[in-house]
Structure 1
Amino acid sequence: MRSMEGGGYSDIENTALRARYAKVFEPPSWSGRLIAAAALALLIFGLWHLGFSATRFLNGLGGLGKLVVLMFPPEWGTTTTLLRFLKSLGETVAIALLGTLLAASIALPLSLIAARNTTVSQILRFFTRRSFDTLRGVDTLVWALVWVNVVGLGPFAGVLAIAISDIGSLGKLFSEAIEASDQRSVEGVKASGGAKLHTIRFGLLPQVAPVLIGQCLYYFESNTRSATIIGIVGAGGIGLELSEMIRTLEWQKVAFLIILILITVTIIDRLSTMLRSAIAGSRAMPG
């Protein structure tokens, strides 16, 4: 029996492994190769149909380089302009926070209806889940355009756009977390004489709460970036300032705003990570 160099398996052991896990060592089937070839052909056709050109791409990189040169050094202009930028940035963070909180507040009770183990009616469950699909199937930017035309320009439209979109996403995630929960604690509350609401309040929510909070923190972080984009269409925040600076070709101020947004998102990302780690740690602690 010859052993492989570096402490590997011997030839006999390799043969035994191949015999035991024959499917793992089988070469790709013809169906798998056909699917891969079809995917590659679809990619090539899609690039051709959409007018992809290496020459245009390289020329675009040259134009991008010229813009980067125009952006340096970043500047904010006068003190009044800086204060306006900071106020708009705070507005963007507020839009993301309020939109996420509003979405979570509405998504939580709806997720109890959408979850298989807590629903009050299968018909209601079906329509609730399809409503989640509808809401999250429309992008936040589209919702922003709708609400800007309904309630007018400003951060209120941004809050509504983020909330409506996130109700669908958070509702789906919340319901899946509820369905995946351990039913032993629920059965324990039920066995001690608890009603349906008691099983949800004392048996279900305490074990899924860390997961739900972690998901909300992640969406708050993501919505900070989304709030910047929807501001460009008039939903308030720093996106409106960014759009105005691009329109007037103030590229140095554009660079400053981009840096400001990146710093803010990084800080929020770090704080969210710390909070999620703290929640996970408290969940892992016994008792």
Structure 2
Amino acid sequence: MSQVLDADLQGLRARYPGVFRQSFLARYGSVVALAVGAVSVALGLWYLEFTPWRMLGGIAEMGKILTLMIPPYVDSWGRALIFLDALGETVALALLGTFGAAILALPLGLLAAKNVVANRIAHFLARRSLDTIRGVDTLIYALIWINVVGLGPFAGVLAIMTSDLGTFGKLFSEAIEAADKKPVEGVVSTGGGALHRIRFGMLPQVFPVMASQVLYYFESNTRSATIIGIVGAGGIGLHLAEQIRTLEFHQVAFIIVLILIAVAAIDWVSGKLRFAIIGRRSVALA
């Protein structure tokens, strides 16, 4: 019996030499990758001076701050109205910046899509331009625009718009490239030109995806607008930083609660809109 098994094994070795003669990395590559990852994490923690005692001390200090934040309240109704007005400004920043970026990113997304622009040079330049814009954080754009147009919400709108322009351009181009070719071919077969191919063959397919992405980023940018407000780009962030600086933690908690309520409301509304858009598209396709 053992001789038969040995003969079968030899036959398998002869027919599939690549399986039985794997390199060291092919056999132990995952182990090596895990070891390298563990060593990298350990070196990173050492370089950042992380210690368990420091972490435990930070947790204890965070607990003290949280106790100071309970219950959330403000000194007067007048201050509460000021916070609410600043929160409305933050939501307006996110709304204008997000939808302004979406409008500007649509032609860039078409230019960066391979199935729209076949020229490799134009496609390469469009993609690299979007990567360059997307590589800079919103806070950096806020600092730049503050020096260009001055302090205030206008700089915040421009910062969010610039930051999201590269992101939306990439997402839109990928959605357009993933569009089904059959509707496009149908438009072309009826004599439609390049614009008809895009308007009636591609955009109806990808519009729900684009709308869902824009609504999600609107919710995310509401939080981002809070951060850029700290550097003077308008919104409630400036009030939040001021209350933290003066150690008014009850009012800090009140502002955080307002932000959470606003984000939850935007998430609920955007969810309803996404489902409505997707439902209409399903009915249209049926």
TM-score by length of 2: 0.88
Query: Secondary structure at 2:72's aligned position in 1?
Result: coil
- 1:70 equivalent in structure 2: 68
1:160 to 2:158 alignment: yes
1:126 to 2:124 alignment: yes
- 1:276 equivalent in structure 2: 274
**2:123 is aligned with what amino acid?**
R
Distance in structure 1 (CA, Å) of the matches to 2:118 and 2:245:
53
Asked whether the 8 Å contact 1:113–1:120 carries over to 2, the reply is no
**2:240 is aligned with what amino acid?**
L
- 2:79 equivalent in structure 1: 81
Q: How does 1:1-287 map to 2 (within 5 A)?
A: 29-119=27-117, 121-285=119-283, 286-287=285-286
- Report how far residue 102 of structure 1 moved: 0.8
Asked whether the 8 Å contact 1:91–1:237 carries over to 2, the reply is yes
Distance in structure 2 (CA, Å) of the matches to 1:213 and 1:151:
30
**2:84 is aligned with what amino acid?**
L
**Identity of counterpart residues, as a percentage?**
58
- Report how far residue 76 of structure 1 moved: 1.7
Query: Secondary structure at 1:147's aligned position in 2?
Result: helix
Asked whether the 8 Å contact 1:72–1:255 carries over to 2, the reply is yes
Distance in structure 2 (CA, Å) of the matches to 1:109 and 1:95:
23
Query: Secondary structure at 2:106's aligned position in 1?
Result: helix
Distance in structure 2 (CA, Å) of the matches to 1:97 and 1:122:
34
What are the superposed Cα offsets for residues 169-188 of structure 1, whole Å, 9 maximum, x if unpaired? 01000000000001111111
- Report how far residue 128 of structure 1 moved: 1.1
**2:209 is aligned with what amino acid?**
V
Query: Secondary structure at 1:218's aligned position in 2?
Result: helix
Runs of 4+ that moved beyond 4 A: none
- Report how far residue 99 of structure 1 moved: 0.3
Asked whether the 8 Å contact 1:148–1:235 carries over to 2, the reply is yes
Distance in structure 2 (CA, Å) of the matches to 1:243 and 1:158:
16
Gap change, CA 1:83 and 1:50, over 3 Å in 2: same
Query: Secondary structure at 1:29's aligned position in 2?
Result: helix
Distance in structure 1 (CA, Å) of the matches to 2:272 and 2:27:
46
**1:283 is aligned with what amino acid?**
R
**1:104 is aligned with what amino acid?**
A
The size of the alignment, in residue pairs, is: 261
What are the superposed Cα offsets for residues 197-239 of structure 1, whole Å, 9 maximum, x if unpaired? 1111111111111111111001101101100111111111011
**2:87 is aligned with what amino acid?**
L
- Report how far residue 272 of structure 1 moved: 1.3
- Report how far residue 144 of structure 1 moved: 0.8
Q: Which runs of 5+ in 1 are unaligned?
A: 1-22
Q: Which runs of 5+ in 2 are unaligned?
A: 1-18, 20-25
- Report how far residue 158 of structure 1 moved: 0.7
Distance in structure 2 (CA, Å) of the matches to 1:153 and 1:247:
20
What are the superposed Cα offsets for residues 41-99 of structure 1, whole Å, 9 maximum, x if unpaired? 10111111110011111111111111111112211221111111000000000000000
Distance in structure 2 (CA, Å) of the matches to 1:132 and 1:110:
8
RMSD: 1.3
Distance in structure 2 (CA, Å) of the matches to 1:259 and 1:150:
33
- Report how far residue 120 of structure 1 moved: 6.0
What are the superposed Cα offsets for residues 110-143 of structure 1, whole Å, 9 maximum, x if unpaired? 1111000111632221111111101111111111
- 1:6 equivalent in structure 2: none
- 1:5 equivalent in structure 2: none
Distance in structure 2 (CA, Å) of the matches to 1:177 and 1:214:
12
